[in-house]
Amino acid sequence: LALFGPAPGVPSCPHGPALLFVKTSQGRQEGRRFYACSACRDRKDCNFFQWEDEKVSETRLAAREEYNRNHQPSFTHRQNVDRYKNFVLLPLSKRRFCQECQQLLLPAEWEKHSDHQFLCNITTTQLKSPSQLLYPLENKKTNAQYLFADRSCKFLLNLLIDLGFRRVLSVGTPRLHEMIQLKASQEKEFSVRSLLLDIDFRYSQFYTEDEFCHYNMFNHHFFGGEAARETCRKFLYEENGERVIMVTDPPFGGLVEALASSFKKLMAMWNETEKEGHDNKEMPMFWIFPYFFESRILDFFPSFSMMDYQVDYDNHALYKHGKTGRRQSPVRIFTNLTPSMIVLPEEEGYRFCTICQRYVSSGNQHCEMCNSCTSKDGRRWKHCVLCKKCVKPSWVHCSNCNCCTLQKHSCEKSDVGCFVCGKAGHKRSACPSLS
């Protein structure tokens, strides 16, 4: 499968405009193009499919529109805001949350949910921490709500404050948004504001239309239409010198091309706010993603660099802090800010490399031949003279494959070319035929 950008007259599914893909088979360059859901890679989650050249009948179009309508949330954002106002006025004993429907319940609705599991006595603290109240949606490719651990969240927020940012566009980072909202409600002098853009509409129960926009980051679709788009545009307008940064934590199974396309559109929106000095500049950004996507991200954003800080998550079995060797979190911060500005905590073992002019993890030794701190995964890497680069400590040079690789590997793979064009020397993701 290869991705092509969204085109005019695109069909839609409940997740907004579909994306155009192409079926490819080994050695054959061009396959038949089709539309599929932008957000769900798994057909079980959204089975939308249409060949690009297919003529769709009026009846089927009407049925599709009806289907899309029926698969929208039962309340609008405005209704959810009103419901929240009423919910907060209730005494503690009447505040219920239905775990099955993931919904705050008003007393008149109890009967309808009588055979469901409730949480009772919902406190104001719980209402201000919805990411802990809501059940995480852990589908790796669509929602993947692995939520920042407290340590990483605090580090990010303190870093943003130290860097002088006063507005944070939180794209798929509900924990960070929540922490900012909570601090703003508790501390008078706290001046950071946040706007959450997220595909999880459940958050509309807890945040006003100025604090949350229902948004799909795979196709840059605002479900709230022009009004929501305007909310985002207004937020990006830098009043009184309040600098804006975008922080995003997409599902790791998502398509990098689609994400990059949306992020560029958000950057363009920031550029359009007509502030002096924006010319040819990029909106400051933190893209949080695993280190093994580095080359893909740099393809789309050459100005970005990867920081050594390991981001970890509360509800992810592998991505936890304090583990050693291969068990460390592979998740990093990619940013277009000057690396030397990103100060990493020395108490967690990070140190400043004066040659690279950036903070690196303790195991990341400077290689004189590469003239760089080369480790990506926190372990000390070794230099291979034949490959002319540093490689993972567990790799050895294979003369058959003419490169460093795992000790136990099958050399036959070296004969296999690119999956799209069949030629050797590159992988599918870097195939020139796709550009």
Which pLDDT score is estimated for 239? Answer: 79
The whole-number pLDDT of residue 22 equals 83
End-to-end CA distance of the chain, in Å? 13
Closest CA to 246 of 160, 187, 321: 160
CA 401 to chain centre: 35
- Return the percentage of the chain with pLDDT > 90, whole number: 55
For range 221-250, the mean pLDDT? 92
183, 192 in Cβ contact below 8 A? yes
Residue 145 — pLDDT band, cuts 50, 70, 90?
low
Share of the chain above pLDDT 70, in %: 85
pLDDT per position as a tens digit, 378-395: 888 899 888 889 898 889
User: How confident is the model over 169-208, as pLDDT tens digits?
Assistant: 999 999 999 999 999 999 988 999 999 999 999 999 999 9
Tell me if the pTM is above 0.85. Answer: yes
The span from the CA of 255 to the CA of 253, in Å, is 7
Q: What is the pLDDT of residues 417-428, one digit of tens each?
A: 666 666 666 666
Query: Which CATH fold would you assign to the domain 150-362?
Result: Rossmann fold (3.40.50)
Count CA within 13 A, CB hemisphere, residue 408.
0
Contact (CB, 8 A) for 381 and 375: yes
Per-residue pLDDT of 4-20, as tens digits, reads 555 667 899 999 999 98
**Longest CA–CA separation in the chain, Å:** 73
Higher pLDDT, 393 or 162: 162
Burial class of residue 116 (count of CB atoms within 10 Å of its CB; 0-12, 13-18, 19+): middle
For residue 67, count other CB atoms closer than 10 A to its CB: 12
Tokens for 47, please give them.
């089975």
What is the b/e burial string over 225-249, where b = at least 16 CB atoms within 10 angstroms of the residue's CB?
A: eeebbebbeebbebeeeeebbbbbb
What is the arithmetic mean of pLDDT over 61-65?
A: 93
Q: In the predicted model, is pLDDT for residue 325 greater than 50?
A: no
